[in-house]
Chains A and B, each alone.
Chain A
Amino acid sequence: MKHKNILLTVAFFLVAFLLPLFVKAPYQLHILILIFIWAIIGTSWNLLGGYAGQVSFGHAAFFGLGAYSAGLLTLHYGISPWWGMALGPVVAALASLPIGVICFRLRGPYFALAMLALGEIFRIVFLNIASFTNGAKGILIMPAITSKELYYYIGLLALAVTLLTTYAIVHSKIGYYLVSIREDQDAATSLGIPTTLYKNLALLPSAFFTGLAGALYMNYVAFIDPNIVFNLTNISVMAILVVMLGGVATTWGPTVGAALYIVLGELFRTTLGSANVLVFGVLVCLIIMFLPNGIVGELDLIKRMVTRKKTSLSGGV
């Protein structure tokens, strides 16, 4: 990592660590916790979709598995859902193994559609095996901890681990192999790179950390049902949107995208009433049109635009 990037990363985590000393309002902390959860989902998706170029429309499957692992532990065995924070990611990662073996036989849009179907299959199955999952009634737990500060720090720690792990993967040899697969899978294959193996190696941590976000969500929100956690539009599609807003194949893009998504979403919801989704949608379209590589991906362009504006202003005086 370059010096400047190390400093910025340390500064981010330092500010984030000290923030609860100044931000006490539960609503503001709630927003920050949601940003962390979405940043984890986005960063995980980015590893597979952004770096390896395998666009998944089914990450809700891993999110839901993580959430249900925590919820079912409490429902059936009375074990604290906090243990789900350990179990959820493992279950999601284990589930990703057969999923990868099957779905990576397909490429491009066919892979995306297979993953989309997968998320829906999980939703329908979890709705229908009500004797095990409580079906549409969902799982409601009594949270052992109500302090938002604690959830904040757990979320921050989970995000830090996710970011560091994905950074380490992306900047290792594996990262280069993933990018080569994204750039041209046939060329990568002709060089002898076992593309299916590396795609699975990207899916595994991607599913693991998405499962971690799911388990954290279960603990924090204390209620889940299949229509919430296996949701195609609200989880799978939004995971992609968060990354596109922030910057595909960038370290900080998903975190920036998550912050934008949550803050703007809340802002529009509280100020624009029922028109909030429309305005949010238009804004997303504008960002994607004018900043196709996302905020972080187009940082140089944004800087140039700001500098040009300043120059032209000073020139006019």
Chain B
Amino acid sequence: MLEVKNLDVYHGWVQALRGVSFNVSKGEIVAIIGANGAGKSTLLGALAGLYRPQKGEILLKGKPVAGKPPEYMVRQGVSLAPERREIFNTLTVLDNLLLGAYHRYRAGKKEVIMDIEKTLELFPALKGREDHPAGTLSGGLQQMLAIGRGLMARPGLLLLDEPSTGLAPLVVREIMSTLANLKKTGVTIILVEQNTVAALKVAGRALVMERGQIVLSGSAKEIMGNPGVQQAYLGRTRMA
């Protein structure tokens, strides 16, 4: 589904990604964990077309897409739910969802309405609030809206940037269980998270990033059991 080879991305003079390579198969949930400034969000940005890589390749279903603009990536089925939610505060929940279907302007009204209903079924807490301005929703509902808006593009690859930030544990659990349900529908998900435990519970595979590089990769179980990861991200000390 997705092949990333030797990806280098710079922010001005600062190199944010250094030779990043990994593969993602269809229907997988891959978690990317790492500390602040490790390059996780930059990696998602590059995959979504927001940052132009200086070196390397991104192959989506075998097609080279590195450096293509975001509108092209959305048309190819790549949808990003950005960090800090970034919903449109003054617009209603319904308008936010409709904007998520921007590139599907050729789709019939019926089809889009059906997708809105599906999204609301996935996030029942949003039901009955369709006419509410998105800015008046709680943090958890805003996050659900941001993911729902991303799903309105009917993506093959959904990129989620820290969906648990600033949310209560119960809400995080609800969002993660929704992601697990989404996996059943065949959507491939790349999940960038600082909440390592939550991410590793829902993901099949995980990559650990440090200073713009992937330093560790494997199944979620392997990563969870790795002593270095336990010490650095899970708050557990090494057994003597």
Name A residues whose Cβ lies closer than 8 Å to a Cβ of B: 173, 176-177, 179-180, 183-184, 186-194
The reply to whether B73 and A176 form a contact with Cβ atoms under 8 Å apart is no
Tally B residues with Cβ within 8 Å of A. Answer: 26
Interface centre among A173, A184, A186, A192 (most CB of B within 10 A): A192
The reply to whether B99 and A191 form a contact with Cβ atoms under 8 Å apart is yes
**CB proximity of B189 to chain A, nearest CB, Å:** 16
Further pairs besides A173-B105, A184-B87, A191-B99: 15, Cβ < 8 Å: A176-B91, A176-B95, A179-B88, A180-B91, A184-B88, A186-B86, A188-B88, A189-B70, A190-B74, A190-B82, A191-B74, A191-B100, A191-B103, A191-B153, A192-B73
- The residue in chain A whose Cβ has the minimal distance to the Cβ of B152 is A191
Which residues of B lie under 8 Å from residue A186 when comparing CB positions? 50, 82, 86
**CB proximity of B22 to chain A, nearest CB, Å:** 21
- The residue in chain B whose Cβ has the minimal distance to the Cβ of A189 is B70
**CB proximity of B169 to chain A, nearest CB, Å:** 26
**CB proximity of A297 to chain B, nearest CB, Å:** 12
Which residues of B lie under 8 Å from residue A176 when comparing CB positions? 91, 95, 98-99
Give the 9 A-B residue pairs with the shortest CB-CB distance, closest first. Answer: A192-B74, A187-B86, A183-B88, A192-B71, A190-B80, A192-B103, A184-B86, A180-B88, A189-B70
Which residues of B lie under 8 Å from residue A193 when comparing CB positions? 71, 99, 102
B15 within 8 A of A: no
A108 CA to B91 CA, complexed, in Å: 21
B75 within 8 A of A: yes
Interface centre among B82, B99, B105 (most CB of A within 10 A): B99
A183 CA to B91 CA, complexed, in Å: 9
7 contacts between A and B (CB under 8 A): A179-B91, A184-B88, A187-B87, A188-B99, A189-B70, A191-B74, A191-B79
A186 CA to B48 CA, complexed, in Å: 11
The reply to whether B82 and A183 form a contact with Cβ atoms under 8 Å apart is no
B54 within 8 A of A: no
A192 CA to B88 CA, complexed, in Å: 15
**CB proximity of B14 to chain A, nearest CB, Å:** 19
